[in-house]
Amino acid sequence: MFNFLKKLFGTREEKTAIPETAPKTKQSVPQKKQNKKSPASKKKNKKTHEKKSIIPELPKIEKPAELIEIPEAEGKKRFADYNLSRDILLALQCMKFEYCTQIQELTLQHLLDGKDLAGKAQTGTGKTAAFLIAAFNHILNNPLENQQNGCPRCLILAPTRELAMQIHKDAQNIGIFTGLNSVVVFGGMDHAKQRYALDDKVDILIGTPGRIIDYSNTHSLNLSKVEILVIDEADRMLDMGFIPDVRRIIVRLPQKEKRQTMFFSATLDNHILSLASDWLKDPIMLESEPDKLVGELIKQSFYTVAGSEKLAVLLHIINNYKYDRMLIFGNRKDVNLRLERDLAKYGVKIMLLSGDVPQEKRIRILEKFRSGAGKILLATDVAARGIHVDDVSLVVNYDLPERPDDYVHRIGRTGRAGKEGEAISFICEYGAYNLEPIEKLLNTRFPSTLPPEEMLVLPPRVDKKR
C-alpha cells in the first residue's frame, strides 16, 4: 500500500455564593445600618458578578482624543469614507481597522442605508464587523427615550456558542465608546446566570437559537421591538437543524417590512435562497469571491507519510516552524487523546478540545488559545465548530478529513482578516482515499511530497513538559 502511495503522490516531503461583605452578624452600632445594602442593591451586585463570570471582561481602553487621518489607497475603501459615528471610528482606530475587506466594501453602504441583504462570504473575511458597524450606527442615530429592559433592538443569531461569543467580543470592541450594551446568551451555561443580563436595557443581543427561544418563552426576553435581525452562517444553521428554531424566533419579531434583515451564508444554493426570500424584503444579493472556497492567503502543503511516521513529522513541524498559534485536527477523540500523551513524552504541551468538554472549561481553553497563553490546540471537527481566532498561523491536518467540506472548514481557521496562513496535511495509508474528493471539490490537483529524512527522526524523549 505504501509503495502504491509513493507511486500515486510522487517524491518526498470555571458558583460560589458571594458574600457582599464578610458574613453579617447582629450589630448595635447605628452607623453600620446606613451601610447596609438594600435588596435591590444586592440583586444588582449579584447580577454584575454573574455577568462577569460568563464572558471575560475586555481590558479598558482610553478613548483617543482625535481621529487619525488614514491616507487614501488605490483600490481600497476607508472606513472613514462612510458616514459613521465618531465613536465607532475611534473604536475601529483602536482596532487598527483602516481599510475595508471586499465583503465590507460590498455590503457596508447598503447596510447603512437600511437595505435587507443576503451575502455570500467565506469565514474570516470581515462580514461580522460589517453588520456590527451598521447595527451600532443605526442605534446611535436613532436613540430611544423609553427602551424597556430585555427588549433588544438588534438580534444576531449564530449556530454555535463559540461563534456567538466571538461576535460578542467583536461587538464589545466596536461599541466600546458608544455606551451601548451588547449581551450574549447560549446553551451549555447556567440558565440563570445569563438571564440576569436581560434585566437591563439590551441594545444588541447575540445568541444561539435554542437559548433565545428559552428566554422568550419565559418572558425574560421580548423580541417584539427588534429593529435589525442578523442571521449568520445560515448554511450551517441549516446543516445543524436549527432552521425550525429560527422560524419560531422570526414569528415573534416585527414583520420583515418593519425590520432590517441581514443574512449571511457561505453558500447561496436554492434552499438558502428560499429561506432568504421568506425572511428578507427586496434583498440585495452579494457575493464575495464567489468562485473561491479557500482564500488565496492560505498556503497548502501535503506530505505523504506512513501512519507510524506522522508523530515524528508533527514534532519536527512544532519544533522548527514559526507560528503564533497552531491548530491540529484529528478525526477521532481516542486518537487525539493518544496523540496528546505521545507529544507530552517529547516535552510538547498542548490543549485538547473534544465534544464532551464542559462549556465553562471549553471557554477557558479557547480564551487561553485566543490570548496566546496556549499556542497549540488539538481538536476534532465537531469540537472545532465555531472556533474563530484571527491569529492561527498554521493548521495541521494530522488526519485528512473524511468529508471534503471539513477540509475547507479546517484550513479556513488560518489566513483570516487579511493575514497569511499555512495548512499542512498528512496523507497516510488511510487518508489517501480522502484526497480525491477534496481535489474534486476545490477543482485542484494537489502535489504531495515525501518529507525529508530529518523530519522522520524522533527527537529525544523528555520527562518534563515544556
Closest CA to 360 of 159, 165, 158, 150: 165
The CA distance from 129 to 152, in Å, is 19
Segment 280-332, tens digit of pLDDT: 999 999 987 655 667 778 899 999 999 999 999 999 999 999 998 999 999 99
Domain identity same for 277 and 346:
no
Please check whether residues 205 and 311 belong to one and the same domain: no
Q: Are 264 and 326 contained in the same domain?
A: no
The domain boundary, picked from 253, 287, 321, lies at 287
Same domain, 333 and 273: no
3-state helix, strand, coil in the chain (%, to 5): 40, 15, 45
For residue 17, the model assigns a pLDDT of 34
**CA–CA dist 117, 286 (Å, integer):** 8
Q: What is the maximum alpha-carbon separation in the chain?
A: 90
Residue 163 lies in a domain: yes
Q: 379 phi and psi, to 5 degrees?
A: -150, 160
Cell of 22: 464578610
Tell me how far apart the alpha carbons of residues 64 and 54 are, in angstroms, rounded to a whole number.
29
Please report the pLDDT score of residue 242 as a whole number.
92
Q: In what order do the strands lie in the sheet with 182-185?
A: 182-185, 204-207, 154-157, 228-231, 260-265, 117-120, 284-287
Number of domains in the chain: 2
Q: Residue 408's closest CA among 433, 425, 393?
A: 425
* Confidence (pLDDT) at 349: 92
Instruction: Mark which of 246, 261, 287 sits at the end of a domain.
Output: 287
Whether 424 and 341 share a structural domain: yes
Could you tell me the strand order of the sheet in which 421-427 lies?
A: 298-304, 421-427, 394-397, 326-329, 376-379, 351-353
Contact 8, 435 (CB under 8 A): no
What is the pLDDT, as a whole number, of residue 411? 87
pLDDT score at 44: 46
Per-residue pLDDT tens for 194-243? 899 999 999 999 999 999 999 999 999 999 999 999 999 888 888 888 99
Determine the pLDDT at residue 19.
Answer: 34
Residue 385 pLDDT: 61
Residue 335 resides in a domain = yes
Q: Are residues 279 and 321 in the same domain?
A: no
Structural domain contains residue 24: no
Residue recorded with cell 447560549: 186
How far lies 369's CA from each of 32, 103, 165, 377, 458, in Å? Answer: 46, 27, 14, 7, 26
317 and 428 in a single domain? The answer is yes
pLDDT number for residue 160 = 86
Q: Are residues 64 and 92 in the same domain?
A: yes
pLDDT averaged over 10-residue windows placed end to end, the chain, 466 residues: 46 36 38 44 44 56 91 93 97 94 93 95 82 98 93 95 90 96 89 89 96 95 97 87 94 97 86 90 83 76 94 96 93 92 94 81 85 90 68 92 86 79 92 89 89 93 63
Residue 44 CA to residue 319 CA, distance in Å, equals 50
Residue 216's CATH number? 3.40.50.300
Which 8-state DSSP code applies to residue 99?
B
Cell numbers that stand for 182 in this block = 451588547
Which domain, by its residues, includes 336?
A: 298-456
Q: Say how far apart CA 417 and CA 274 lie, in whole Å.
A: 30
Task: State the DSSP code for 117.
Answer: E
- Nearest to 237, CA basis, from 271, 270, 281: 271
pLDDT at 125: 77
Q: What are the φ and ψ backbone dihedral angles of 445, each rounded to 5 degrees? A: -100, 125
Asked if 177 and 272 sit in the same domain, the reply is yes
Residue 111 backbone phi and psi in degrees, to 5: -70, -40
